[in-house]
Every structure is written in C-alpha cells, then in structure tokens.
Chains A and B, each alone.
Chain A
Amino acid sequence: MELNPRTTDPQGFDYMANSGREEQDRDTCGLILALILVLSLTALQYLGLY
C-alpha cells in the first residue's frame, strides 16, 4: 500500500489509516466518551441540576 506523505510521519504512522485493533480501541474510546457525555448531561437534567 502506498504511503500518503501528508498523513504519515517518519515512523510510518498514518493518522488516516484506521484498522484492526487500533480502530476498535478508538471506537471504544469514542463510544465510552459519548455515553459518558450524553448520559451525564441527561442525568444532570433529570436530577434538576440545570
């Protein structure tokens, strides 16, 4: 696979490449953060904090 010099650093890390275990982990991070934000904002409202 050809390298995209714009998105790849000298270590060969391509920030636009997203696959495998790394992808799953990123998804998990996003998923957890989203749930925390959405649920806490909703819970705060239900608890009458704003």
Chain B
Amino acid sequence: MSANAAVYEQNRRSFLSSLYSFREALPGLLAMLFIAVFANNLPGVPNPLTLENLFYWLDGVIGPLNHQPFSKIMNSNFVWNPLLLGLLIANIFGVPDAWKRGLSYIHMLMPLGIIMLAPHFMIFHAFKLGAAPIVLCLASLFITASLTLLLARWLKLDDRQGSIIAGGLSTGDPHVCAILMPLIKAKGGQVVNSLAGIIVFGLLAMNLLPLLGSWLELPEKYFGLAAVLGVGNGHQALYAAFDLGYEAGRYAQWFDVGRHVVMPAGFLYVFIVMFIRQRRYQSDPTVLATRGINQFPLWLGVFIFLWVLAALHLFKEPAHHAVFNLVKWDFSLAAGALGLSLSWRDIGAWGFKGFLVTCIAGLIRIVLLLAAIAVCVKTGLLAV
C-alpha cells in the first residue's frame, strides 16, 4: 500500500470521501468544465468558440473527402476534442497542483459514463439487417479481438496496450479505447498511442479497401458492410464506402447499426479474457492488464444489467436521448482530465509496436472479411 493510499484510509469516513472536499476539488472540476465547453458543442451550452466549431470551419476549407469531413475522418468527436485540448494545455502550460484533486474525478466519471452508455445499445435495432449480416458483425468482432490479443502476445506488446487495440479495432469505434482504460488499468499514454495507431491504420485501410472491393467485384451493398467492419472509425468507413460508389455509402449507413449495437460485447469480451488471464497468471510480472482488479467490478455488472434492460426496451426515447446527452458531458469532462495527464513523451514512449500489431491484425481482418463476404454473396447467404 502506497503512502498516499494509507493517508486516504486514515481520513476516510465513507465512500464519499473519494470526492474530497468541495474546496479541494473545485479548481480541477472547473478546469475540466472549461476544457469541455471549449472543446465540444455540449448540450445546453451555446458557446460558439469551441474546438469542434474550429474543426468544422477547417473541414469547410479543406472540403469534403468522399463527402466526409476531414476532422471526422481523423476521429474528432466528443472524446477526442477535449482530450486534444487538455493535451495542448498540459504540454504548453503544465497542470497546476490545485487542479489535481478535482481531476481525479475522472475515475468516478469513467464508470459513470460507461454505465450510462448502456441504454445506447439496443440490440433489436440490428434485427432489421437479417441473420447473416449480424453473424458477420459478431464474427468480425470476436475474431478481430482474439486475433489482436494473440498477435500482441506473439509480438510481446505490453498486454494492456494489446487489449486497448483489440477493443478499439474490433469494435470499429475508437471510443472503446477510452472505455477500456479503467477496466484494463491501462496507462493514458497507451490509450492515446493505440488510438492514434488505429486512426492511422484506418487512413490506410479506407483507401485500400475500395481497391480490393472493386478488384473482387463485391456488390456495392455488401461492400458497405465490409467498410463498416473493416476500417477504423465511422467516417473512415463511409469514406471507403463512398469511394467505391454511392450504393456502398448508402448501405454502409444501413449496416452500421449492426456494428454499433454489439460494441459492448467487444469491450466486455476483451476485459473478461484479460481478467481471467490475470487471475490465472497472478504471479507473472508481464501480465499487467487488469492488474489490481481482484474481483469482477460491480459497476461493470450494473452496466451489463442495464444493457439487458435496454435490450428489453426499457429505455425509450426521449429518456435515452437525455441519458446520452449526459454521456457526452461525462466523457467530455473525463477526456479533458485524461488529456491533461499526458505529455507527448508518455504517448511516444510506447513506440510503434502497437501500430504494427494494429496493421497486421487489421489487414488479416480485411482479408478474412472480404473472403467471408464474397463467399456469402456467392452462396446466397447475403442476398443481392
């Protein structure tokens, strides 16, 4: 037990002690708040001077690329914008000590945001796609995650980073990198390093995929499915799909829901695999992922419970919408704190090995995916 933990034990009166005193926490909370409201156009804040709006303008100057804004291709979103702003502030001005108590709220905000995400994933929204595309989405998810974890082990990548990459790559949604951070106990630098690797791989994949797609003469409709499952993030997928053709782009939007609603399965799978491994090899010093988590986190159980309730359609519009707006707030605040904690060196220190793993796993996925879709189309499992 570190000295700090001992101090905490000593002063602890109830679980609320983790929030510290209002006076201690306020500066950090304000820092997170200001970073959030100057990074994102948050619900309820009519602030025009945001990073999001700056990117919007830059996108207009650059012009759409296959109808997609450049910043969105680069994964600008409500997590990435405050992270970037926090990163800039920390690396230019540093982080005042007075902020640090408040910034520790990130550890409260992460489970909070993840639990509140649960109503967002309504499995039945994917039923309209039919059985075969759903099976493909699930297969892509689990195979990519397993493949990445295996590759990370063979290439001796830090298992925490391997897990983060596995989550982000398999779900096609770099948000998952951030979601996995508290579960895996990954370092902030690893998360950003992995995220950057996935985005850069996405840039390669989104240009490669249309070439392969037209070479294989895949029907545009199912190329849309391939784009959704085979690239880095949503806008990169649309870029790839629209690059091949209009119909592909249209169906990329149609199939996207299949990838989206099973996303929690991706990070749960990665966590459970790594957690079991950690319990089994407790004495192995190279097993770092989920290290420190001794039992299945209760809050994750609550997330799963709420996800099941969502599948039973308990959360309806507009409550679901209101909850998601809170999620945006929550992750904006948390990402600001995460950005503040990192130096460029923290990110760079993890090197390019993660990117290598991403590329190899991603490329194998593309090959498997295109082969599977081509076979399904040939056999009529995917009706043209």
Instruction: Assess whether B112 is interfacial by the CB under 8 Å rule.
Output: yes
Find chain B residues with CB under 8 A from A4 CB: 341
CB pairs A–B below 8 angstroms (18 shown): A4-B341, A6-B340, A6-B341, A6-B343, A7-B95, A8-B100, A9-B97, A14-B4, A20-B5, A23-B107, A26-B111, A29-B108, A30-B110, A30-B115, A31-B115, A37-B116, A38-B323, A41-B326
Interface residues of A (CB under 8 A from B): 1, 4, 6-31, 33-35, 37-38, 41-42, 44-45, 50
Whether B90 contacts A35 by the Cβ 8 Å rule is no
Residue of B nearest to A34 (CB): B115
Interface residues of B (CB under 8 A from A): 1-5, 8-9, 12, 15-19, 28, 90, 94-95, 97, 100-101, 103-104, 106-113, 115-116, 118-119, 182, 185, 188, 292, 297-299, 302, 306, 314-316, 318-319, 322-323, 326, 337, 340-343
Given A15-B101, A16-B341, A34 and B314 touching (CB < 8 A)?
no
Report the Cα distance A21→B95, complex, angstroms.
26
Report the Cα distance A34→B301, complex, angstroms.
13
Report the Cα distance A11→B3, complex, angstroms.
10
Distance (whole angstroms) from the CB of B118 to the closest CB of chain A: 8
Report the Cα distance A13→B98, complex, angstroms.
11
Report the Cα distance A12→B5, complex, angstroms.
10
Q: Which of B28, B94, B315 contacts A6 (CB 8 A)?
A: B94
Report the Cα distance A19→B292, complex, angstroms.
7
Whether A31 contacts B302 by the Cβ 8 Å rule is yes
Residue of B nearest to A20 (CB): B5
Q: Which of A20, A25, A29, A38 contacts B1 (CB 8 A)?
A: A20
Q: Which of B18, B103, B316, B319 contacts A22 (CB 8 A)?
A: B18
Whether A31 contacts B298 by the Cβ 8 Å rule is yes
Report the Cα distance A21→B11, complex, angstroms.
12
Find chain B residues with CB under 8 A from A13 CB: 4, 100-101, 104
Residue of A nearest to B291 (CB): A19
Whether B116 contacts A38 by the Cβ 8 Å rule is yes
Whether B109 contacts A30 by the Cβ 8 Å rule is yes
Whether A45 contacts B15 by the Cβ 8 Å rule is no
Whether B111 contacts A37 by the Cβ 8 Å rule is no
Q: Which of B9, B118, B343 contacts A21 (CB 8 A)?
A: B9
Whether B15 contacts A28 by the Cβ 8 Å rule is yes
Q: Which of B5, B103, B104, B115 contacts A38 (CB 8 A)?
A: B115
Residue of A nearest to B18 (CB): A25
Given A16-B188, A45-B318, A30 and B15 touching (CB < 8 A)?
no
Given A1-B2, A21-B8, A29-B16, A34 and B341 touching (CB < 8 A)?
no
Find chain B residues with CB under 8 A from A37 CB: 116, 323, 326
Given A7-B100, A25-B12, A41-B323, A34 and B5 touching (CB < 8 A)?
no
Distance (whole angstroms) from the CB of B306 to the closest CB of chain A: 7
Distance (whole angstroms) from the CB of B382 to the closest CB of chain A: 37
Report the Cα distance A13→B182, complex, angstroms.
18
Whether B108 contacts A26 by the Cβ 8 Å rule is yes
Distance (whole angstroms) from the CB of B204 to the closest CB of chain A: 32
Whether B343 contacts A15 by the Cβ 8 Å rule is no
Whether A42 contacts B314 by the Cβ 8 Å rule is yes
Find chain B residues with CB under 8 A from A23 CB: 107, 292
Whether B341 contacts A15 by the Cβ 8 Å rule is yes
